[in-house]
Amino acid sequence: MIPKTDVVRLAALADIHYAKSSQGSLQPLFNQIAETADVLVLCGDLTDYGLAEEARVLAKDLAAVKIPVVGVLGNHDFESGEEKEIVRILTDGGAHMLDGDTWEFRGVGFAGVRGFCGGFGRGALGPWGEKIIKDFVHEAVQEALKLESALARLKSEHRIVVMHYAPIRDTVEGEPPEIFPFLGSSRLEEPLSRFDVTAVFHGHAHKGAPEGKTQTGIPVYNVAHAVLKSNYTDQPPYRLFEVHTGSREDQTVTPIGEAGWGRRSTDRPTPEKRSAAAS
Ligand SMILES: [Fe+2]
Ligand SMILES: [Fe+2]
């Protein structure tokens, strides 16, 4: 039997930092996303000061998005100790907020965690010495374990990881090197390779690089709003990807350049047009 092929379009965005005064500010963008994508992926720092009131403003603007929304919180969403209320508000609005959880859509599985910091590679902070250092490292280890167990539960053909902090150094390049250890952790990279993840989306590094790869070649995309605005000046500030499901020779996530905007998966391009659209 020939496997049924399908294309799921993901629109990915992070660090929108909604404030009390943001009502309507991203609504045109959200409307455009709803017309071009099948799923909206939000990678944390959804609010500016972590206030429930800010989340209510965002939920109102997201109400117009009639496609599924899946996301994680970022560090800003914890600033005021109202993170649980933020999750409740966004969940009540229909978003799938992940914290070591999974969600599936048409053969594409999502695993999400906030992640944490601590640095990369040989420069990563180790759990040694004072208790407070051990506790700090423990947080990154716990986030990596949460991600690992979420990925272990996903049985879908494609596994997409959503996080706030960076799992690799590549996508924080562009930030001052002094703050690299606060932008992500290599500990988040290990589960990605173990479960052969299809692609990873994160934010947090506002001045970082838009694309990188894990040591095993898994694509990692930094979709922070500021990164997209400065790197893709001719496109709206979100990234659009096609996930090809059901086709053995075409199991990839393809970033869509300018030529691919404006179509949904229901009127997807022919293979010739698709390869022309890939950037
Ligand atoms: Fe941010
Ligand atoms: Fe952040």
CATH of the domain at 52: 3.60.21.10
Q: What is the pLDDT along the chain (279 residues), one digit of tens a residue?
A: 444 568 999 999 999 999 999 999 999 999 999 999 999 999 999 999 999 999 999 999 999 889 999 999 999 999 999 999 999 999 999 999 999 999 999 999 999 999 999 999 999 999 999 999 999 999 999 999 999 999 999 999 899 999 999 999 999 999 999 999 999 999 999 999 999 999 999 999 999 999 999 999 999 999 999 999 999 999 999 999 999 987 555 556 788 764 444 444 443 333 333 333 332
Answer whether residue 182 is part of any domain: yes
Give the predicted TM-score (pTM) of the model: 0.90
Please check whether residue 1 lies inside any domain of the structure. Answer: no
Residue 195 forms part of a structural domain: yes
Tell me how far the alpha carbon of residue 19 lies from the centroid of ligand 2, in angstroms: 15
- Ligand closest in space to the Cα of 224: 1
Distance 154 CA to ligand 1 centre (A): 28
pLDDT of residue 85: 98
pLDDT of residue 4: 57
Other CB atoms within 10 A of residue 3 CB: 10
pLDDT of amino acid 83: 98
Q: Domain for residue 2, yes or no?
A: no
> Taking a C-beta distance cutoff of 8 angstroms, is the pair 241, 10 a contact?
yes
For residue 180, give its domain range.
Answer: 7-278
Q: How many domains does the chain have?
A: 1
Question: How many angstroms separate the CA atoms of 116 and 185, rounded?
Answer: 6
In a domain, 122, yes or no: yes
Structural domain includes residue 147: yes
Is 240 part of a structural domain of the chain? Answer: yes
* Nearest bound ligand to the CA of residue 116: 2
